[in-house]
Structure formats: structure tokens, C-alpha cells
């Protein structure tokens, strides 16, 4: 079962940072234990086996799920990281925008269009990702790109 790092209860529009080892997954809280987040879609074959795209995915889908399901056993915290830099959108506007986007698929790029960009755009009106600006993440992305190129050729 997931646990919070600070035992705070999320409020509507809060950004949720989920710690997944080498990276963080981000979601926005929309009430009643649910979050909206942006992640690679789960693809199922006719035989019933399902897989979820990983870091090399180029498409992600907007989903609404229970926070407890998204976090799984990983720790998470409320992290409205840019509140001191940007105005926060009205709560009703954030929740409505998040729900309007449910099911939509968009281009996924670790550096320019990831789950953190998605939630910061909803909360602040500006897509930003602090983890994508980290030099180690950029180096990892370059390494994954080279690996992907080598595997395809």
C-alpha cells in the first residue's frame, strides 16, 4: 500500500508526486480519492495479455484512477512545486480541464511532454518539468535514444 511522505490529505487541484525510484510520476488530485495522470496506454492482445509502454513510448493517454492504484506501493507526496512562481488556476477550471482530457492520447516525450508537464499545465497554465531539466535526465534520454536507434537497426 502506498504511503504519503508527509501524511497530508490531498485537496482538489493538488499535484501528487509519486516516487518511482529513478524518476517521479505526477498526477493531479480531482477528489474522492481519484487523480488524473498522463501515462503510456495499456495495450491488450486478444489472448488477454496486457503490457504498458515504458520510457521509449511516444504516446501517452490521460487516465483517471484511484490515487492508491496509481501509487501502488510507492511513496507519494503533495507537491505544488510552482505555486511561488505562477498563479494557480481556479480549482473548478483545473478539475474540469483534467476531466475533459480523459481518454485523450498525446505525444509523449520525456523532455518536452511528460506527466509533470501535463499536470503543471493544468494547475498553472504552463507546462514545466523540473525533472526534465535535470542534466542527468537529459543524459539518460540521450543514452536511451542511442539504445533505441541501435535496437531498431
The residue ranges of every structural domain in the chain are: 15-152
Residue 128 grid cell = 514545466
Please say if 115 is a catalytic residue: yes
Local confidence band at 2 (pLDDT 50, 70, 90 cut-offs)? low
Decide: 15 and 79 in contact? Cβ < 8 Å: yes
Task: Give the pLDDT score at 147.
Answer: 44
Question: How do residues 104-150 score in pLDDT, each as one tens digit?
Answer: 999 988 888 899 999 999 999 999 998 766 545 444 544 444 444 45
- The rounded distance, in Å, linking the Cα atoms of 94 and 88 is 9
Residue 13 grid cell = 487541484
Please say if 37 is a catalytic residue: yes
The pTM of the whole model exceeds 0.75: yes
Local confidence band at 22 (pLDDT 50, 70, 90 cut-offs)? confident
Choose the catalytic residue: 44, 50, 115, 130.
115
**Percent of the chain residues topping a pLDDT of 90:** 58
Please say if 117 is a catalytic residue: no
What is the average per-residue pLDDT within 43-66?
67
What is the pLDDT of the chain when averaged over all its residues? Answer: 81
User: Is the CATH code 3.40.50.1970 the one for domain 15-152?
Assistant: no
Question: How do residues 66-86 score in pLDDT, each as one tens digit?
Answer: 999 999 999 999 999 999 999
Amino acid at each position: 500500500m502506498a504511503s504519503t511522505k508527509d501524511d497530508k490529505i490531498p485537496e482538489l487541484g493538488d499535484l501528487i508526486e509519486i516516487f518511482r525510484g529513478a524518476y517521479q510520476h505526477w498526477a493531479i488530485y480531482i477528489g474522492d480519492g481519484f487523480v488524473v495522470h498522463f501515462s503510456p496506454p495499456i495495450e491488450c492482445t486478444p489472448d488477454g495479455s496486457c503490457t504498458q509502454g515504458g520510457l521509449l513510448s511516444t504516446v501517452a493517454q490521460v487516465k483517471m484512477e484511484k490515487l492508491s492504484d496509481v501509487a501502488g506501493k510507492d511513496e507519494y507526496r503533495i507537491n505544488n512545486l510552482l505555486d511561488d512562481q505562477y498563479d494557480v488556476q481556479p480549482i473548478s477550471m483545473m478539475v474540469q480541464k483534467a476531466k475533459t482530457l480523459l481518454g485523450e492520447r498525446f505525444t509523449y516525450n520525456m523532455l518536452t511532454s511528460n506527466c509533470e508537464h501535463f499536470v503543471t499545465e493544468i494547475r498553472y497554465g504552463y507546462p514545466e518539468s523540473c525533472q526534465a531539466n535535470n542534466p542527468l535526465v537529459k543524459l539518460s534520454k540521450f543514452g536511451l535514444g542511442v539504445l533505441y536507434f541501435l535496437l531498431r537497426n
